[in-house]
Structure 1
Amino acid sequence: MGGVTGDHAPEQPALAGLEVVAPTTRRRRTTAPPGPAAQLPVARVCVDLAPAHLDRPFEYVVPENLDAAAQPGVRVKVRFAGQDVDGWLLERVDHAEHEGRLLPLRRVVSLEPVVTPAVARLARAVADRWAGTLADVLRLAVPPRHARVEGEQPDRDDGAGDDAPTVATEVPATGEAGAPAWSAYRGGPAFLRHVLAGGAPRAVWTALPGTGEHTWAAAVAQAVSTCLLGGRGALVVVPDGRDVDRVCAALRAVGLDDVTRGGPVARLVADDGPAARYRAFLAALRGRARVVVGTRASAFAPVADLGLAVCWDDGDLQHAEPRAPYPHVREVLALRSELEGAALLVGGHARTVEAQHLVATGWAREVAADRAGVRARAPRVRALTSVELAREGPAAAARLPGPAWRAMRDALAAGPVLVQVPRAGYVPVVACVRCRTPARCATCHGPLGLTHGDGPPSCGWCARLATGWRCTECGASGVRSVRVGSERTAEELGRAFPGVTVRVSGARAAGGVLADVPDRPALVVATPGAEPHAPSGYAAAVLLDAAVASAGERLGAEVDALRRWLAAAALVRPTGEGGQVLLVGDGAARPTQALVRWDPAGLAERELDERAELRLPPAVRVAALTGTRDAVAAVVARVDVPALEVLGPVPQPADDRQALEPEVRTLLRVPPTDGAALARAVGASVAIRSARREGGTVRVQVDPADLL
């Protein structure tokens, strides 16, 4: 229906007796926007956005009313592309590089300077090293804000106030009396003296087994106390919360208590929850905690005047960040050591190929015991291979052969016995009883397994019960076990040793991962990484299914198998106290021999030499690009680095669980001296892809662990 306009528009008549009042317009009261700050009016902000082409600081005007709050390191809200987004204020400067008009900061989210200058430099270095973005790294480095925790914390304390934590100066720093855990290592006391004097030594430490003041945790605590006596802070990064507890207990033993009880130690673990994690982060940020002990993300903890960074068990997969840009704790701490002039200690019972590379190139020194020290502290190790068990006849094929059963029986009279099983669950993989074809789910083609002793098999992917299953090759309906898990092993040991307590430790076990077990006789069945500690050590350890543990085509499979075996063997009493370790099965020859000799450095050195011949990391730098074929090809075409070698593209195996577009992988390989140039070139190519909004998907990983 059309409207009426112009001179003929009708007027609303007034009611009789009412005065006609002309309409008035309400004027809005406006206030002039605040002007820019008088000093350093330009803020450079890292905007929390994912696209790679936005990986640069953006400039904003600091309004006068935010001058006091907008300090470097704080969280801010800014206007970007028509919407409010989060960001971190990196710095303030006098003049802008941008020639146009700058938008003002919207607001300061928190007064806490969560990104310190040292952490900002480290985050930028990590982003450049792994061809990532600064925003991605800062999301890993800075925990989410918890406003209530900010309010409950005391005022910022840089350590100079009356409430500043103190370290007992009577704690000895060097010498056999003050650091007994280090006296058995060549270069150990010298490393501590260098740290005490304010130096920045870098060491790769092969730890010996031990109990009491000779455990690895006690050695770390003694190194940390030495660093604090020298007037600097310390950072310890371990794989999981159990190791955090052990280090914190060792620190209390040398007089360094938790910050909640007036000490200088903060526990920074994501599994403790958002509030506890942010509380520990603020304790380090405000200077109340001079020592931080935590898991992967704590590698970025804002420890003031860092003097020592420790990475324990660098071969553990928990140290590898699963989110972009996929940094590894060992490399992050190495970068931090160089940027902040701090000492670095990379330790473990085993030695990774990457750590051996640091020693071989002279970047770090070796700290290890001589052969006499190893023999005095290590248990006796025997490999029960098929050759060793030939005299047993048909019984040699048993999963628990006679010599292992007798050794466990005798050891139970002296204390607990550890049994390491490489697989969790009951029977995780089954096959056809007649033709041995692996049993697959009829719906999703996932592997079938048994979750308990009675009942049909179920799918490990979709969890459907495979009732009425028949083999597609021969038609048989029966199944047999291919891999036996920890639950089934515990059941079998319970029947083999009636009356003996059997405990199971693992992420999928009913009781979860056990931290400790008493020194009473018991059988402790654990998966790798879940072995509980015994106060006086285990009387014996049996490492089952050696062939399964050392099998695999992935890069470093043999070194990783030795690392898992040594982690369990290190919990056993020394030979002089009757401790023994039995490796059962025909495992790979090299890790088996390295375990018997207790020589992890020898295996790592040999593996490194072979990788140098084959041009594999860490002897070279590699960038792996995985995604759709056209997208990967476009990114690779823009990478121009001297001595670049392009391998691929190679089709990637499809995942039966997902209907994905076929993917390929291309490897870009360069000598170590061109590694930084490769990362820059790949990052620049990905940024161009992001700016052009090219189709497809590409995932970039520099020096990936799953290269093979």
Structure 2
Amino acid sequence: MTNGGETELIPGMDVLAVPPAPAKTSAAKKTPKKGARRPAETLPVARVLVDMSLPHLDRPFDYLVPVELDAKAVPGCRVRVRFAGQLVDGFLAERVADSDHEGRLAFLERVTSPEPVLTPEIAALAREVADRYAGTLADVLRLAVPPRHARAEAEEHPEPGEGRPAPPAPGPWADYPAGPSFLTALAEGRAPRAVWTALPGPHWPEAIARAVRATLASGRGALVLLADGRQVARVDAALAEVLEGASRHVALTAELGPAERYRRWLAVLRGTAGAVVGTRAAMFAPVRDLGLVVLWDDGDDVHAEPHAPYPHPREVLALRAHRSRAGALIGGFTRTTDATVLVETGWAHALTADRQRIRAVMPRVRPAGEDAELARDEAARTARLPVLALRTARQALRDGPVLVQVPRRGYLPGLRCGRCREQARCAGCQGPLSLRSSHAAPYCRWCGRIAGDWQCPECGGRHVRAAVVGARRTAEELGRAFPGVPVRTSGREGVLDRVGAEPALVVSTPGAEPVADAGYAAALLLDGWVLLGRADLRVAEEALRRWMNAAALVRPAAPVIVLAEGALPPVQALIRWDPVTLAERELADRRELGFPPAARMASLTGTPAAIRELLADTRLPAGAQVLGPVPVAAPQDGATPGPDRERALVRVPRPAGPALGRALKAAQGVRSARRAPDPVRVQIDPLELI
């Protein structure tokens, strides 16, 4: 089971994989004993990718293919093998005539399924992603290939449809000077790559669908990734209309359930469906003859993969486009600094509308800032709204719904002492206190403890006040300020997909805004200081992204009021509807300070001793800088931090990013081989650095 004849100790197992004395190199020439399993006559050696996440075992292992499994053991199929005394799963990568290992090879135990679920393209891509993110191939393959469902494999799948759709008319792409030529290049089988700054409005799903149809017209496949199931449903509906109902595409989302998702994934694998639209889990979908990859709203943190090795779909799709010589479309209402790097390096071209067209369709944005009339308007005081926002909402409600974006969910997600304004914290774990409703007692967001008898340790005060107001409390306030007007909420507890054209106040958290049938008559973007006051490297571009995603749902020339200081760069970019200038400015600042994406960074999180050990074992590339380590701050998700946890950052010039990934992976392999007790979490280019 080992290659090269070396003795290997498998951490966590009390078994030594010790090969015997050197034997013949050709597995097919070994003479089996009577009654023993015989290897296949042709290509008897199978190279298996064993499902083991230990870094020092991240390579294929050679096994013999027995005669009885010869027909089923095809490259890409699932197999079971004995590894260090245990039965484990794996994928058969390839079959060869001879093995480089001079010891005795074990046989495959069985073929779990003869379906070749791991294609050569996805296997090579997974290997590159694992190296890029200092991870293991086994971890990437868990993300790439869904769990097996035997019934779905046994079902009959229709044959791929005959014929290709005709190239589409430009449609929404006619609003962009380079839009029609982009579609033409896709339809002719070329590989245009664009960073698309979409116009506000509801037409972006149709634009994506037309790009997919142009790709299918060239005889190639397309892959579209979106942030959530609601966006997938919108693009799915647009594809069904633009492709004229033909079953040339499938939608892959977690809501389908494992069996149905695997059934649709098999349709892609077998070539029945030429296009895929889905969430981040579909980034490895085995689309045949890939001709286009699409990523919408790449700045949304929902795209970030929470499982090791934490690959981002933007990087994965860029790798796929490069490897497959496919086109790429990375779009959104805003532009991220990461996408700006792609434009600056020439990997992609900017796809934007001219200023005259932008002015014709953009909303009319006004900042409210600190309104001096707040003290003279009791309704505004009750609803936390300045006079300008109240007047705008009242006028707009005559024509249709009004969107109110609130940065936080809940009722009162943050509390402070009513006397000294010190943050209210739990006496047990020092977690932040919150309030679920006007009749509830404060509780801790970390441990859940009720703090009905809370007393401020600084001044002895027993009253609390809101530090930031959530969506439910905002809806309650608006209901009092606008009696008789329906108030609907959309957020974590319940996300609305659509609202009608009738007058209503729709209170939503960022990312949960429903689409209005005829567009919103106005939008109020509350508590801008909450978005702009976060300690985050991406705070400016993230605030603009959330504001523009909400404002894009408003009718052309309709009012949008943002409660933030009008002189700030993100607010100015919103007023002018110019995200490109802000992204370029942010990238210039990051380049001067040496922050991503101008540089590559790796985050190492673990115990102080483990981090020191990993850094000592890492051959860092030239120009690398180690920042820290520093203690890890308390998490915001309610989990308690581990004991003595620290984090170090390793920064290298952008061209040295691949070398950094390989160096950290090699060091992780050294620690894994000697069974280091404390693991270190390695993330390449994490979203959160501060």
TM-score of the two chains, using structure 1 as the length reference: 0.90
1:666-694 deviations in Å (ceiling 9; x for gaps): 22222122211111111001011100112
Residue 652 of structure 1 and its aligned partner are, at CA, apart by 2.3
Q: Distance in 1 between matches of 2:162 and 2:495?
A: 34
Distance 1:165 1:400 in 2: 59
* 626-635 vs 241-250, which moves further: 626-635
Give 3-state SS (helix, strand or coil) of 1:345's partner: strand
Instruction: Select between 47-56 and 183-192 the one with higher mean Cα deviation.
Output: 183-192
The AA in structure 1 aligned to 2:303 is H
After superposition, the C-alpha distances for 1:189-210 in whole angstroms (9 at most, x for unaligned) are 2211111111112110000112
Question: Relative to structure 2, which stretch is displaced further, 278-287 or 460-469?
Answer: 460-469
1:643 aligned partner, one-letter code:
G
The reply on whether 1:691 has 2:673 as its aligned counterpart is yes
2:36 alignment partner, one of 33, 38, 52: 33
Q: How far apart are the structure 2 equivalents of 1:87 and 1:139?
A: 11
CA distance in 2, matches of 1:444, 1:37: 63
1:190 paired to 2:175: no
How many equivalent pairs are there?
652
Q: Offset of 1:584 from its aligned partner?
A: 1.6
Equivalent position of 2:28 in the other structure:
none
Q: CA deviation at 1:659?
A: 6.1
Tell me the residue number matched to 1:103: 106
- Is structure 2 residue 459 aligned with structure 1 residue 477? no
User: Which shifted more, 100-109 or 547-556?
Assistant: 547-556
User: What is the 5 A alignment of 1:199-210?
Assistant: 199-210=190-201
Aligned residue identity for 2:282: S
Contact 1:334-1:344 at 8 Å conserved across structures = yes
Is the Cα–Cα contact under 8 Å of residues 366 and 560 in structure 2 kept in the other structure? yes
Give the letter aligned to residue 284 of structure 1.
Answer: V
Equivalent position to 1:50, from 47, 50, 53 = 53
CA distance in 2, matches of 1:604, 1:226: 30
Partner of 1:135: 138
Q: Is the 1:44–1:90 contact (alpha carbons within 8 Å) kept by the matching residues of 2? A: yes
AA aligned opposite 1:210: G
Partner in structure 2 of residue 417 of structure 1: 402
1:143-180 per-position Cα deviation (integer Å, ceiling 9, x unaligned): 1111122223437x4x3xxxx265443xx43xxxx122
Secondary structure of the equivalent of 1:183? helix
Cα pair 2:292 2:326 within 8 Å, conserved: yes
Identity of matched residues, %: 56
Q: Which residue of 2 aligns with 1:406?
A: 391
Q: Given residue 219 of structure 1, which amino acid in structure 2 is its aligned partner?
A: A
> In the aligned structure 2, how far is the partner of 1:675 from the partner of 1:469?
49
Instruction: Quote the Cα distance in structure 1 between the aligned partners of 2:139 and 2:39.
Output: 30
Q: Which residues of structure 2 form unaligned runs of 5+?
A: 1-32
Alignment of 1:54-453 (within 5 A): 54-154=57-157, 157=159, 159=160, 164=161, 166-169=163-166, 172-173=167-168, 178-211=169-202, 215-257=203-245, 263-386=247-370, 389-390=371-372, 399-453=384-438
Letter in 2 for 1:650: V
SS in 1 for 2:411: coil
Cα 1:179–1:652 change in 2 (3 A) is same
Q: In the aligned structure 2, how far is the partner of 1:519 from the partner of 1:447?
A: 40
Kindly indicate whether the alpha-carbon contact (under 8 Å) linking 1:195 and 1:226 is maintained by their aligned counterparts in 2.
Answer: yes
Query: SS in structure 2 opposite 1:310?
Result: strand
Tell me how far 1:444 sits from its aligned partner. Answer: 2.2
Amino acid paired to 1:642: A
| Distance (Å, rounded) in 2 between the aligned partners of 1:197 and 1:346 | 20
Kept in 2, the 8 Å contact 1:315–1:560? The answer is yes
Task: Map 1:451-530 to 2 at 5 A.
Answer: 451-508=436-493, 512-530=494-512
Question: Which residue is 2:622 aligned to?
Answer: 642
- CA deviation string 1:410-429 (max 9, x = no partner): 11111111000001011111
Unaligned runs of 5+ in 1: 1-29
Q: Give distance in 2, aligned partners of 1:138 and 1:670.
A: 28
- Looking at structure 2, the residues matched to 562 and 154 of structure 1 have their Cα atoms a distance apart, in angstroms, of 45
Q: Which moved more, 1:55-64 or 1:690-699?
A: 690-699
**Is 1:582 aligned with 2:561?**
yes
Read off the aligned partner of 2:325 and give its amino acid letter: G
1:682 matched to which residue of 2?
Answer: 664
CA distance in 2, matches of 1:623, 1:524: 41
The 1:550/1:589 distance shift into structure 2, 3 A limit, reads same
1:605 to 584, 589, 594: 584
RMSD over aligned CA atoms reads: 1.7
Is the contact between residue 166 and residue 263 of structure 1 (CA under 8 Å) also seen in structure 2?
A: no
Separation of aligned partners in 1, 2:315 and 2:136: 17
The 3 A distance-change label for structure 1 pair 476 and 298 is: same
Amino acid at match of 2:191: A
Give 1 or 2 for the bigger CA radius of gyration. 1
